[in-house]
Amino acid sequence: MRNITVKSSLELTQSQKQTLEKGLKDRYGEDITIEYVIKDILGGLIITDGEKLLDLSMSKDLLKIKKEAERIINEMHAASSAGAQLEKELTPSDIPAFLKFNLGNIVTGNLDIDICGKVIDVADGIIRISGLSSCKYNELLLVNKDTYAIAMNLEKDRVGAMLLNNIDKVSFGDIVYATGKTAEVPVGQALLGRVVNPLGQPLDGIRTLFTEKFRKIESPAPSIVDREKVSRPLSTGILAIDSMVPIGKGQRELIIGDRQTGKTSIAIDTIINQKGKNTLCVYVAIGQRAGEVAKIIRVLKENDAFEYTCMVVSAADDAPSLQYLAPYTGCAIAEEFMYDGKDVLIVYDDLSKHAVAYRTISLLLKRPSGREAYPGDIFYIHSRLLERAAKLCKQKGGGSMTALPIIETLEGDISSYIPTNIISITDGQIYLERELFRSGVRPAVNVGLSVSRVGGAAQYPAIRKLSSKLRLTLAHYRELAVFSHFGSELDDNTKRILEQGEKIVEALKQPQYQPMSVLRQTLILYLIANQLISDVDKKHLGDFLTKFHHFYYSSYPAQAKELNSGRDLSDNAAATIEVACEQFKAYYLASLKKGGLP
Ligand code: ATP
Ligand code: MG
């Protein structure tokens, strides 16, 4: 026997009671008793049977609207007292959109399914709920009308979920509503130049975020027919990468290395290099120190790169649930641009911390643990994320999303669990080596272990031609360099190769935040390939190359423009570089002889 209580504000009519009775019998079977209670709930009904509850009352709706209105007013007060201004003045015609956005920052529209459950266990940001039998995997749940959670474990008689906000305000017995939706975040142009948290709420404390567009944080990757071959280069501005591990638009290239080997710097340089190249950027910080993130924001601002970049930040002290969501949120923001026909670059810094956050959630949810205590679906959480990066075909707008996931290794071990997973998902990796970094080779790219499986097809023709032998020459040099340590007598040929190798390593060194143009890369690669730098001393090489670039740029502006386009090198262009190099070298070496740098 099931006892059901129906609360209403007015006495129900006989026919209403009959309809209700029929509906309840259809749902629960014949064996029920119904008690009708009159209560001041303004309108609508509340139906309970102990645990399950159907709240269709008007008071609930009003309460929801009241709370949201209070939150908006508080936010606006806070913003105006901080001296900030709304992005634009609200006009009466904006109000429906404004309300729609603000009433459902995550949940848009009305909650249509109101079957409820109760919290029966809460600890460490994880809740267990009884009575939510209709709940689906990954569904957004609403606890106490202003706290959100995502359903992660669907068990026979309970649901395990991770809380997204108000983690310490949820307690035993709180009511949980299933929303019938998955989490959504605001997307669109308004996100550029902003810092948001993984729920899409602004963290920069300036203007209110004003956008009408929302996107689900999890959505299927583009299908095979919607994709196209990677064919256009995405210049990182880092010579060692653009020449030997080129990246194409729509590619996924892993940046991997020990801690403090310059992984983030490569990603930031790449973002800075997109200035004026019509490529938007999304940087996702996962579990990083707030100070580190602040530094990145400052660098991007100083280099005028912030206005085309969106930062999604989950700091190290954020709950694991937020750290877990961050990359999906960033991906949704980037995806919107991609489907809009634009080129986007997204950096996930870093996915090792993301894997750790997911492991924490899984262990708290008491899922069985596998290798290194990671849950069984650890591969899937990254593959479904990275598969969303693509180059779309023309019919789909031709946009692209290039992904640069970052992975931190321990003691250079790239064969451990998470690194091998990501290596197998991505289209290549840039391996940064601690030894190289320590010895001053920066960026510390280990050419032997780095590879780009699709980018070669997208490389600028001139750069491809000039760097075709570079990788081999360097590998040969490294091999001989190891042997030369044994101190044996070296023949002239070996000495020459070693000397040439040292010069190349020197020429490939590049300071931070100074991405190189295609012109500069072409010039350096031309000088290396044609051994025009053999008579410049190693310690002056960096200075020589910089000044030669300036000299060429100012002396041959028309040719410089052509070279900068990356088109195949004509005989004419090659001859001009040779002449310019001879001219400049004579002048440079003469000045050195006189005792000073030119
Ligand atoms: P973490 O593991 O802490 O995230 P990381 O691998 O991301 O570190 P970065 O923070 O990018 O490394 O760089 C580490 C240090 O190396 C920084 O102090 C940075 O300034 C310096 N660095 C990085 N690249 C270069 C470079 N090309 N030239 C000179 N210094 C560099
Ligand atoms: Mg870093």
Ligand 1 atom at shortest distance from the alpha carbon of 268: 11
261 ligand 1 Cβ < 6 A:
yes
Mean pLDDT (whole number) for 451-470 = 93
The CATH code that applies to domain 470-593 is 1.20.150.20
442 ligand 1 Cβ < 6 A:
yes
Question: What is the band of 444 on the pLDDT scale with cuts at 50, 70, 90?
Answer: very high
Between 14 and 210, whose confidence is greater?
A: 14
Contact (Cβ atoms closer than 8 angstroms) between residue 181 and residue 122: no
Contact (Cβ atoms closer than 8 angstroms) between residue 404 and residue 282: no
For residues 412 and 433, give the distance between their C-alpha atoms in angstroms, rounded to a whole number: 7
Q: Answer yes or no: 453 catalytic.
A: yes
259 ligand 1 Cβ < 6 A:
yes
For residues 227 and 234, give the distance between their C-alpha atoms in angstroms, rounded to a whole number: 17
Q: Percentage of the chain with pLDDT > 70?
A: 92
For residues 472 and 467, give the distance between their C-alpha atoms in angstroms, rounded to a whole number: 10
Question: What is the band of 83 on the pLDDT scale with cuts at 50, 70, 90?
Answer: low
pLDDT tens for 382-440 read 999 999 999 999 999 999 999 999 999 999 999 999 999 999 999 999 999 999 999 99
Residue 264 has pLDDT above 60, yes or no: yes
Residue 113 has pLDDT above 50, yes or no: no
Residue 82 has pLDDT above 80, yes or no: no
Which residue, among 131, 217, 130, 220, has the nearest Cα to 182 in the 3D structure? 217
Question: Whose structure tokens read 């032997």?
Answer: 448
pLDDT tens for 445-458 read 999 999 999 988 99
For residues 307 and 193, give the distance between their C-alpha atoms in angstroms, rounded to a whole number: 4
pLDDT value of residue 479: 86
For ligand 1, the distance from its centroid to the CA atom of residue 253, given in whole angstroms, is 18
pLDDT value of residue 79: 64
For residues 116 and 46, give the distance between their C-alpha atoms in angstroms, rounded to a whole number: 11
For residues 230 and 155, give the distance between their C-alpha atoms in angstroms, rounded to a whole number: 43
Contact (Cβ atoms closer than 8 angstroms) between residue 291 and residue 285: no
Question: In a mutational test of the pocket of ligand 1, which residue from 350, 512, 514 has the highest number of ligand atoms less than 8 Å from its CB?
Answer: 512
pLDDT value of residue 114: 46
Question: Beta partners for 118?
Answer: 130, 175
Question: Beta partners for 409?
Answer: none
Question: What is the band of 100 on the pLDDT scale with cuts at 50, 70, 90?
Answer: low
For ligand 2, the distance from its centroid to the CA atom of residue 391, given in whole angstroms, is 27
Ligand 1 atom at shortest distance from the alpha carbon of 509: 27
Q: Among the bound ligands, name the one nearest to the CA of residue 260.
A: 1
Where do runs of H (alpha helix) occur along 509-570?
518-529, 538-555, 557-564
Q: 453, 471, 478, 567: which is the annotated catalytic residue?
A: 453
262 ligand 1 Cβ < 6 A:
yes
pTM of the model: 0.83
258 ligand 1 Cβ < 6 A:
no
443 ligand 1 Cβ < 6 A:
yes
pLDDT tens for 375-386 read 999 999 999 999
The CATH code that applies to domain 111-182 is 2.40.30.20
For ligand 2, the distance from its centroid to the CA atom of residue 264, given in whole angstroms, is 4
Ligand 1 atom at shortest distance from the alpha carbon of 265: 11
512 ligand 1 Cβ < 6 A:
yes
Query: Could you tell me how far CA 133 lies from the centroid of its own chain?
Result: 34
For residues 502 and 487, give the distance between their C-alpha atoms in angstroms, rounded to a whole number: 17
Question: What is the band of 17 on the pLDDT scale with cuts at 50, 70, 90?
Answer: confident
440 ligand 1 Cβ < 6 A:
no
Contact (Cβ atoms closer than 8 angstroms) between residue 212 and residue 333: no
Euclidean distance between the first and final Cα of the chain, in Å? Answer: 97
pLDDT value of residue 205: 76
Where are the chain's structural domains? 60-107, 111-182, 189-459, 470-593
For residues 175 and 48, give the distance between their C-alpha atoms in angstroms, rounded to a whole number: 12
510 ligand 1 Cβ < 6 A:
yes
Which residues, chain by chain, have CB under 5 Å from ion ligand 2?
Answer: 264
Contacts of 97 (CB under 8 A, 6+ apart): 212
For ligand 2, the distance from its centroid to the CA atom of residue 138, given in whole angstroms, is 30
Q: State the CB neighbour count (10 A cutoff) for residue 278.
A: 8
pLDDT tens for 473-531 read 998 898 888 877 776 677 888 888 899 999 999 999 999 999 999 999 999 999 999 99
For ligand 2, the distance from its centroid to the CA atom of residue 266, given in whole angstroms, is 9
Structure tokens at 435: 């030894």
For ligand 1, the distance from its centroid to the CA atom of residue 406, given in whole angstroms, is 13
**Three-state SS for 207?**
coil
What residue's CA is closest to ligand 1, atom 8?
Answer: 260
Maximum Cα interatomic distance, the chain, rounded to a whole number of Å: 109
Query: Could you tell me how far CA 545 lies from the centroid of its own chain?
Result: 35
Whether domain 189-459 has CATH 3.40.50.300: yes
